[in-house]
Amino acid sequence: MPQQLFDGMVDYADGTPATASQMAKDVTSFLAWASEPELDERKLMGFKSILLLSTLFVFALYIKKLKFSYLKSRKIVWTGKD
């Protein structure tokens, strides 16, 4: 198959050199976005959920230590009357 991308085929507005490797990178980036356009939203939602769950986990550990601290500090005495 002959080469499809040649240097200088595209003019970039920001002055990026239009090399074949740059155009190939642009094509692969577009194909990755076209296959999953909602990927950025999913990553943001995952980050938010991990942040929320870790906060709730820390809060639950604090409440557990607060509620069960009296159980750990009490002393059980065996009188031997059995």
Q: What is the CA angle 72-73-79, rounded to 5? A: 95
Contact indicator for 5, 24 with CB cutoff of 8 Å: yes
The count of domains in the chain is 2
Whether residues 46 and 70 fall in one domain: yes
Whether residues 45 and 25 fall in one domain: no
Model pTM score: 0.57
Whether residues 20 and 43 fall in one domain: no
In this prediction, residue 82 has a pLDDT band, given cuts at 50, 70 and 90, of low
> For the segment 12-59, what is each residue's pLDDT rounded down to a tens digit?
888 888 888 888 998 999 999 999 999 999 999 999 999 999 999 999
Whether residues 44 and 71 fall in one domain: yes
Whether residues 49 and 68 fall in one domain: yes
pLDDT attached to residue 39? 92
CA distance 16 to 31: 20
Whether residues 17 and 1 fall in one domain: yes
Domain, as residue range, for 45: 38-76
CA distance 65 to 55: 16
Whether residues 16 and 2 fall in one domain: yes
